[in-house]
Amino acid sequence: MAGRVSCERTRSVRRRADGQLVTRNDDASAEELGLPFLPASLSNSSHIAQGVNFAVNGATAIDVGFFERNRLVQFKLLNNSLDVQLGWFEKLRPSLCNTNKGSPGCFSRSLFVVGEFGVNDYNFMWTANKSQHEVRSHVPKVVKTIASAVERLIGDGAAHIVVPGNPPTGCLPAILTLRQSPAAADYDRAGCLRGVNDVARHHNALLRAAVGGLRLRHPHARIVFADFYRPVYRILENPGRFGEQLALHCIYSSMLFSAISIDVELPETILRCTSAGFVVGDVLKACCGAGGGAYNWNGSAVCGMPGVAACGDPAAHVSWDGAHFTEAVSRYVAKGWLHGPYADPPILSAVPR
**What is the domain partition of the chain in residue ranges?**
27-350
Q: For residue 44, what pLDDT band results from cuts at 50, 70 and 90?
A: low
Mean pLDDT over each residue of the chain, to the nearest integer = 80
Q: Please give the full DSSP string across 109-158, using - where no structure is assigned.
A: GS-EE---TTHHHHHHHHHTT--HHHHHHTHHHHHHHHHHHHHHHHHTT-
Question: Averaging pLDDT over each range in 19-23, 107-111, 271-275, which range is the top one?
Answer: 107-111
Neighbour-count burial of 312, counting CB atoms closer than 10 A to its CB (0-12 exposed, 13-18 middle, 19+ buried): exposed
pLDDT of 107 > 60? The answer is yes
State CA 69 to chain mean position distance.
27
For residue 4, pLDDT beyond 70:
no
Residue 191 confidence (pLDDT) above 90: yes
Judged against a pLDDT cut of 80, whether residue 1 lies above it is answered with no
Q: How far is CA 74 from CA 31, 124, 127, 128, 191, in A?
A: 38, 10, 10, 9, 29
Please state the rounded mean pLDDT for residues 38-58.
58
Three-state DSSP at 313 gives coil
- Residue with the larger pLDDT of the pair 269 and 216: 216
Burial class (CB in 10 A: 0-12, 13-18, 19+), 292: exposed
**Distance (Å, whole) CA 236 – CA 245:** 14
Count of Cβ atoms closer than 10 Å to residue 14 Cβ: 8
Residue 250 pLDDT > 80: no
Comparison of pLDDT for 317 and 201, the residue scoring more: 201
Given a cut of 50, whether residue 156 has pLDDT beyond it is yes
CATH no. of 27-350: 3.40.50
Average pLDDT over residues 20-44: 50
Q: Is the pLDDT of residue 148 over 90?
A: yes
Tell me which residue of 304, 239, 333 sits closest to 5, measured CA to CA. 304
Global pTM value? 0.80
6 vs 23 pLDDT, higher one = 23
Q: Phi/psi of residue 142, each to 5°?
A: -65, -45
The 160-164 sheet, strands edge to edge:
112-113, 160-164, 222-226, 343-344
Q: How far apart are CA 287 and CA 237, in angstroms?
A: 18
Is the pLDDT reported for residue 34 higher than 80? no
Per-residue confidence (pLDDT) for residue 78, from 0 to 100: 82
pLDDT tier at 2 (50, 70, 90 boundaries)? very low
CA distance 243 to 229: 19
Check if the beta carbon of residue 194 is closer than 8 Å to that of residue 170: yes
State mean pLDDT over 310-339: 91
